Chains A and B, each alone.
Chain A
């Protein structure tokens, strides 16, 4: 009784706060679900329209213009696309970009699953879980550029890895391929992108009912069987969400290739920059449109296999 008595004034306070703040708006919108929906969607829609929609449309329009030393000119032409698609190096670079993204995704998945699984099953104490999860996340509080160039002192001729290997007398000469090579670029990319996969996977695993895991054990499934037949299917939402992040960001990647890969095998986004450097905004726009189209196609295909709303 006492508790009930005590609760009433609190409820009254909440009520009295609600009415003055939103009263008039709520009254005006009551019974008008469509208007309510429109008003709620308006700020976000406007934001996207101004800062995403208009620039995107501009890029598409510019891709049909001409450009040069004196800026962009609205002389509509298909030449930018003809030159882009007709260039052998464009297709070599596109093929290489796709290869990199596939290797990136495969590597990240192979690295992220054990990491997320370890966080979920092996580490028992909650504060250790938090601490380890933070280890993945904290580097992302620094800038992308900083995270990338920190590999330079790690992989260089006189870097940490080569120095340690030489001190241990495992090698006599520094390993050249550790820096400015496709190998070093992929290693850097895997570690740059792993958090995009570990997070969604870990949160997917946490949702798995403990009884299902127990049932698997009771019915005699070993760790591998449990992983492939229970964990993997149930973590598909996390896997797909992580894959979307990796693919979309990986397709737009250019800096790691430049800084760690030695800039000898450019990716598509890097090609756009090269065009901008020589005032070829129209050509850069055409490549951007092709890149966006490719990315959207890949994402669409991925979404056909999985409903993102399940994540």
Chain B
């Protein structure tokens, strides 16, 4: 079943005794960086999957359970076989076909999954609307997985296009952040029950996923610090006449009225119960307020897609925008001093998840892919794009690298908000501009949910656009 090199390379790892790091180095297998990127491999055999490197296909009962390692660049010792760089698993004959945003469906991710699992892959990049539409219009048969935003997932769940996923088959979930397991977690919304209500079939017993969290974040205002020379601390800045004609807002009938409502509620400008799911009267009040601001020339542009938001800020056409993550990170890459605000009213939170098609013929491979995405390597990759992984398994990887800033490990930067006492030269930041994970998630305005009456949102949003 396995390639000759691979079998030779791994045979003695599972000869009934546990090998320590030194022994591995002696074998010549563990070669520095090779192991750094290949640490996790064995998530492919969970619950009916395939043991990649087990002799005779039998699991070694004495091998330790997998756990995240603090030494990510070393050979791992969990019972699912790691792969060194240059090695690849024998083709399994199975494949996964997935569809998602460009953030998660990337050739380098799929290649790594192929290498580790032996499963073939094909991935299609699409917008959120396009991917859901394709599935609902009968195109679901072309895929095994869907990587989608949680607030759209009900469309797939309610039409029985996706299946519940048993939690025991998702091994790294043992290291899940409490955000997706506990009502006591930072950011949990007791009114909507988000995110638990969207993650679990039954949030109380948590035995089956509706949607397995894949990556998540919370958004705020992106602004040109170099041109404004002040810190923005409220969503209200986007509506403040002081910045008239220097603001862009997102053309979205749900998200934009959502943060405006959150601002109005926090400032006592309107009596709004739930800014993520408003009544008709509440929506009316928000839209009228927005129309007033629009007529006053507040908005220079209404942005439509991610790249447009980056260009608007980077070119200086606008100075402030309600910016998705990681718009600002991409602006910074153009050597422009741009920051995310830490708004008094809180961030807007969201998560993307993995769903498996009900009738997929590649269930085991799809489960393997879900495991792969929750393992540290994948989590570390998306962390460098500014996202969080729902498990803590990425930490080991991120503590070993400092691709973001030579002063910090990537974990310090992305999860802990940086720790340097002095700003970098010419740069007003000492780490992630909105701070550490706990600080950010302790300040959530609402989750991006699907409201009860999206039609009314759309109708009134059209009124705003045409006003």
Contact = CB atoms under 8 A, between A and B. Distances in A.
B24 interface: no
Given A157-B315, A274-B458, A92 B466 contact: yes
A263 B251 contact: yes
A93 interface: yes
B465 A266 contact: yes
B302 A262 contact: yes
B313 to A, nearest CB: 12
Interface string A139-178: 0000000000000100011100000000000000000100
A11 B350 CA distance: 77
Interface in B260-310: 294, 299-304, 308
Interface in B228-249: 245
Interface in A224-260: 258-259
B454 interface: yes
Interface stretch (B153-161, B337-345, B382-390, B397-405): B153-161
Interface size class of A (residues with CB under 8 A): 35 or more
B381 interface: no
Interface string B448-467: 00100011011101110111
B136 A89 contact: no
B317 interface: yes
B132 interface: yes
A96 B458 CA distance: 19
B139 interface: no
A263 B466 contact: no
A69 interface: yes
A112 B311 CA distance: 33
Contact of B155 (A70, A83, A87, A176): A70
B158 A69 contact: yes
A90 interface: yes
B132 A263 contact: no
A274 B315 contact: no
Looking at A89, A93, A271, A281, which has the most chain B CB atoms within 10 Å of its CB? A89
Contact of B129 (A90, A157, A179, A276): A276
Given A69-B154, A87-B459, A266-B465, A276 B133 contact: yes
Interface of A: 69-71, 83, 87-90, 92-93, 96, 152, 156-158, 176, 179-180, 258-259, 262-266, 271, 274-281, 283
15 contacts: A69-B450, A71-B155, A71-B159, A89-B462, A89-B463, A93-B465, A157-B316, A176-B245, A180-B317, A258-B304, A262-B299, A263-B303, A265-B465, A277-B252, A278-B254
